[in-house]
Amino acid sequence: MSNLKLCQGPSCHQYCTQDRLKGTKGSKTFQTRRRSNLNYGNGNFCSLNCQNDWFNDFGNKAINHFGRLEEPKHLTETNAWYKDYDYNWRDENNQQSNWRAVNKITKERRPLTEEQYNDNNYTLNER
């Protein structure tokens, strides 16, 4: 019919705003919002309220279905590298690199080239 998407909030139609009131006189109803773009929950919800309503109704089931975390995850030294740079950096002599890898655990810093910094596949983290 159209490219409009329905908000998946189970109670969306119960939030009685004017934009949800549709139909002709005598047969008006409050309806679930329908939009070309929904801005919450990966494009599934019209508002944070509707996203929270969904999670309150279905969150436990969803987590159990897709696998509840039973043990803490560990970020290790070998996988704790992230890329960083200084926003206001300026090097007229062009002798130093502004781009670096920093380890979140050891705080070690290793210089990167701009190419390495911009390469989304380049990482010091073990795979």
Q: Taking CB under 5 A as the rule, does residue 101 contact Zn ion?
A: no
Q: What residues from 9 to 38 belong to the interface with Zn ion (CB under 5 A)?
A: 9, 12, 33
- Residue 26 is given by DSSP the state T
Q: In what order do the strands lie in the sheet with 99-103?
A: 81-84, 99-103, 109-112
Q: Report helix, strand or coil for 6.
A: strand
Round to whole Å and give the CA distance between 16 and 8: 16
For Zn ion, give the closer residue by CB, 34 or 83: 34
Q: Taking CB under 5 A as the rule, does residue 41 contact Zn ion?
A: no
Q: Which of 46, 51, 101, 116 binds Zn ion (CB under 5 A)?
A: 46
Per CB under 5 A, which region of 46-54, 90-98, 99-107, 116-124 contacts Zn ion? 46-54
- What b/e readout covers 46-62, taking b as 16+ CB neighbours within 10 angstroms? bbeebbbbbeeeeeeee
Per CB under 5 A, which region of 18-26, 39-47, 58-66, 115-123 contacts Zn ion? 39-47
- Tell me the longest C-alpha to C-alpha distance in the chain: 76
At its nearest, how many Å lie between Zn ion and the CB of residue 3?
17
Q: Taking CB under 5 A as the rule, does residue 50 contact Zn ion?
A: yes
Site residues (CB under 5 A) for Zn ion? Answer: 7, 9, 12, 33, 46, 50
